[in-house]
Structure 1
């Protein structure tokens, strides 16, 4: 463990070990929100397989676009974009894709045990909302916020997931 990472404490377990800086947390939040919104939209007329493919493909395009924009910006700041810089940029944005794994797995598991697609999507959105709450809490604690403030941040982040659930009910 690096000295900087050790100095931040270990208050939030796996999130801390998973995404180590504010940009990675931001990418995870973006990936979770985009993946959830796409899941809702794709489930309106698609099958389970179509929903999974649409979420994966959309997040892959979103990630590639974000990483390409980062590389362009890095090139504007300094000389060239060597192979090392390219690989670092690609790795750095990876939480955008990683954050979608759990909701998609829940979607697949819920469907596998017999849930209809709308119910399976709702279960996946519940997991997304919990993930967003955890990310909000972790971000606040990393900034030195008190537990009470971090819980408020957690609630605010969870509201993003709640908004997507409301969107699901409005569309279905």
Structure 2
């Protein structure tokens, strides 16, 4: 099934949030980082969904339970987007990497993942040439900025 534009946007946003938390997280424990990422992504998801519902309500829409359920499910890609970087983080730690190295590996994956999402978005739109390079690079640039943040903080 092809992702809707809202699902794709939520997935990119969730990946950026996960990377941001990993960049700023203390490097003392992988478990701490995992909990921080999951809690932060959950709060962002909840806030985004609340804002979506409040905006609809403020514009006169009568919200049913089905509308609320639909709104919350529309944002689930934001949460799911945190899984892949966290799986990489946990796998690196289980394979013997210390927390700092595991975070660096997970951040590297996050950068690659963002480039890939930008590439896929461009392909779906049929973009080619320099415009496709720009679309791909813009998505990946978020990850590069997060890695710079990580290096500056730690």
Q: State TM-score, norm by structure 1.
A: 0.83
User: Alpha carbons of 1:147 and 1:100: their partners in 2 closer, same or farther (altered >3 Å)?
Assistant: farther
SS in 2 for 1:81: coil
The answer to whether the 8 A contact 2:24-2:149 is kept is no
Shift of 1:52: 0.5
- Who is 2:33 aligned against? 51
Residue 37 in 1 paired to residue 20 in 2?
yes
- Who is 2:105 aligned against? 123
Residue 165 in 1 paired to residue 147 in 2?
yes
* Cα distance in 2, alignment partners of residues 56 and 139 from structure 1: 25
Residue 98 in 1 paired to residue 60 in 2?
no
SS in 1 for 2:133: helix
The answer to whether the 8 A contact 1:141-1:147 is kept is no
Residue 132 in 1 paired to residue 132 in 2?
no
- Who is 1:28 aligned against? 11
| 5+ long unaligned stretches in structure 2 | none
* Cα distance in 2, alignment partners of residues 150 and 28 from structure 1: 19
Alignment size in residue pairs: 154
Deviations 1:77-111 (A, max 9, x none): 34321111111111111111111101000000000
Shift of 1:26: 1.5
The CA RMSD over aligned residues, in Å, is 1.5
User: Alpha carbons of 1:148 and 1:81: their partners in 2 closer, same or farther (altered >3 Å)?
Assistant: same
* Cα distance in 1, alignment partners of residues 67 and 25 from structure 2: 35
Shift of 1:151: 3.1
* Cα distance in 1, alignment partners of residues 53 and 89 from structure 2: 33
